Amino acid sequence: MNEEFGPARCPDTSATPINRETLRERGNAVKRELLGFRRRSFSRGECFYGLLLSSLGRSEEAVVQLQRARELDPFSGVIQHNLARALVYARQFDRAIEEGRKTPENSAGGHRYLAEAYAAKGMAEQAVPEWAVRRSEAQNTIAEMKVLATERYVAPSFIAYVYAALGDKENAFEWLEKAYADHSWDLVFLGVNPVWDHLRSDPRFADLLRRLHLAS
């Protein structure tokens, strides 16, 4: 029989015996890997549940849930910036700044929620570096995103978000409607994110919350 296509053979391990101590060490290593994987899996579940609670306006519960997630996976930048996010939505801006500063330097989410917390406190000078963009640059960013949207998916909710941050009410509503038609997932935080606060008195905003089943 051609050896290349012959039946599979178990490798001969007789020349390399494994003692009990080695087996125990390998078994413990596997257990540690499985435990780490389990903890990371649980932490993601805790994180997403925390965000769900936040979107429902259950702010204190959301923060506690995200703190649990961080305990399970203390090195996760995603969990850390979402904790800052939940604190922004809870209007606990000082704590949001404290937690936002703990996010990794390369965390876009960390910079975003740190900027939101600064802006909500009226600390524009501190917010601008975190946004890494000024008003004139933001207008260019919107133009670039609209061009990019013709080539690949760009969430309309993000464009609405930038318009809202710039105080451009009409364009913000136009893109919020596009986000609603697009089923943009970020709209679940419409009822709690302070960036939308200056739109809340407009009947169009109340109508949008009603259609999203987020009206209180």
Domain that holds residue 66: 27-132
Does any domain span residue 127?
A: yes
Same domain, 197 and 214: yes
Residue 177 has pLDDT above 70, yes or no: yes
pTM of the model: 0.73
In sequence order, what are the residues at sequence separation of 6 or more whose Cβ sits closer than 8 angstroms to the Cβ of residue 185? 157
Residue 7 has pLDDT above 90, yes or no: no
Does any domain span residue 7?
A: no
Amino acid at 133: V
Report the alpha-carbon distance of residue 121 to residue 124 in Å, rounded: 8
Residue 28 has pLDDT above 60, yes or no: no
Range of weakest confidence among 5-19, 80-94, 113-127, 134-148: 5-19
Residue 134 has pLDDT above 60, yes or no: no
CATH code for the domain in which residue 115 is found: 1.25.40.10
Residue 8 has pLDDT above 60, yes or no: no
Mean pLDDT of the chain: 81
Length of the chain: 216
Render pLDDT for 64-123 as a digit per residue (tens, 0 to 9).
999 999 998 888 899 999 999 999 999 999 999 999 999 888 888 888 899 899 988 988
Three-state DSSP state, 114: helix
Q: Which of 95, 101, 93 has its CA nearest to residue 120?
A: 93
Render pLDDT for 179-199 as a digit per residue (tens, 0 to 9).
999 999 889 999 999 999 999
Same domain, 170 and 80: no
Handedness of CA 75, 111, 129, 140 (dihedral sign): positive
Tokens for 177? 């409607």
pLDDT of residue 42: 64
Within its chain, how far is the Cα of 96 from the centroid? 14
CA atoms within 13 A on the CB side of 46: 24
Same domain, 58 and 109: yes
Q: Which of 58, 106, 119, 116 has its CA nearest to residue 84?
A: 116
Residue 166 has pLDDT above 60, yes or no: yes
